[in-house]
Amino acid sequence: MRFSRKGENCNASLKAPLNNPNGMCGGYSNIIFLREVKTTMSNCNKESKVRKNSCFSLFSITLFLCCPLLFIIGCSKKASEASANVLLITIDTLRADHLGCYDYFRKTSPNIDHFASTGVLFEHAYCQMPTTGPSHASIFSSNYPRRLGLLKNGWVLSSQYPTLAENLKKNGYVTSAFVSSFTLDPQFGLARGFDEYDAKFSSQGSSGGSDFDWEGQHVEGGFDQRGDVTTLKAINWIQKHRKEKFFLWVHYFDPHSPYTPPKPYADDFLKETRTPLDQEIANYDGEILFVDVQVGKLLNYFKDESLDSKTLIIITSDHGEGLGQHNWMRHGRNVYDELTRILLLMRFPDVIPVNLRLNHIVQGIDIAPTILDLLKIKKEKSFQGQSLLPIVFDPKKASNQIAFLERRLYEDLVGQKFGIRKGGLKYIWAPEEGTEELYDLTKDSRELLNKAQWEPELTKKLNHAIQVWRQEQETGYQRERQTIDDKIKKKLKSLGYID
- CA–CA distance, 433 with 203 (Å, rounded to integer): 41
Task: Mark the segment that binds Zn ion (CB under 5 A) among 261-269, 289-297, 310-318, 468-476.
Answer: 310-318
Q: Kindly state the smallest distance separating residue 93's Cβ from Zn ion, in Å.
A: 5
Count of residues that bind Zn ion according to CB under 5 A? 3
Q: Kindly state the smallest distance separating residue 389's Cβ from Zn ion, in Å.
A: 27
- Tell me if 132 contacts Zn ion by CB under 5 A: yes
- Tell me if 363 contacts Zn ion by CB under 5 A: no
Residues pairing with 248 in the sheet: 87, 176
Task: Mark the segment that binds Zn ion (CB under 5 A) among 191-199, 267-275, 301-309, 311-319.
Answer: 311-319
Task: Mark the segment that binds Zn ion (CB under 5 A) among 151-159, 262-270, 312-320, 357-365.
Answer: 312-320
Q: Kindly state the smallest distance separating residue 319's Cβ from Zn ion, in Å.
A: 5
What's the first-to-final CA gap in the chain, in angstroms?
A: 50
Task: Mark the segment that binds Zn ion (CB under 5 A) among 94-102, 124-132, 163-171, 233-241.
Answer: 124-132
> Phi/psi of residue 81, each to 5°?
-65, -40
Q: Kindly state the smallest distance separating residue 6's Cβ from Zn ion, in Å.
A: 10
- Tell me if 224 contacts Zn ion by CB under 5 A: no
Q: Kindly state the smallest distance separating residue 104's Cβ from Zn ion, in Å.
A: 19
What does the DSSP 8-state code read for residue 329? S
Q: Which is nearer to Zn ion, 10 or 101 (CB)?
A: 10
Q: Kindly state the smallest distance separating residue 95's Cβ from Zn ion, in Å.
A: 11
Q: Which is nearer to Zn ion, 132 or 363 (CB)?
A: 132
Cβ(282)–Cβ(269) below 8 Å: yes
Cβ(319)–Cβ(131) below 8 Å: yes
Strand 85-91 versus strand 246-252 pairing type: parallel
Task: Mark the segment that binds Zn ion (CB under 5 A) among 14-22, 87-95, 280-288, 304-312.
Answer: 87-95
Give the other-Cβ count within 10 Å of 456's Cβ: 11
| Residue 116 burial by Cβ neighbours in a 10 Å radius (0-12, 13-18, 19+) | buried
Q: Which is nearer to Zn ion, 132 or 387 (CB)?
A: 132
Residue nearest to Zn ion (CB): 132
- Tell me if 92 contacts Zn ion by CB under 5 A: yes
- Cβ contacts of 441 within 8 Å, gap of 6 or more: 337, 421, 424, 425, 426, 447
- CA–CA distance, 256 with 165 (Å, rounded to integer): 25
> Phi/psi of residue 14, each to 5°?
-90, 115
Q: Which is nearer to Zn ion, 163 or 181 (CB)?
A: 181
- Cβ contacts of 55 within 8 Å, gap of 6 or more: 40, 41, 43, 44, 47
Q: Kindly state the smallest distance separating residue 249's Cβ from Zn ion, in Å.
A: 14
Q: Kindly state the smallest distance separating residue 332's Cβ from Zn ion, in Å.
A: 9
Q: Which is nearer to Zn ion, 11 or 473 (CB)?
A: 11
Residues pairing with 351 in the sheet: none
Residues of span 313-352 touching Zn ion by CB under 5 A: 318
Q: Where on the chain is the footprint of Zn ion (CB under 5 A)?
A: 92, 132, 318
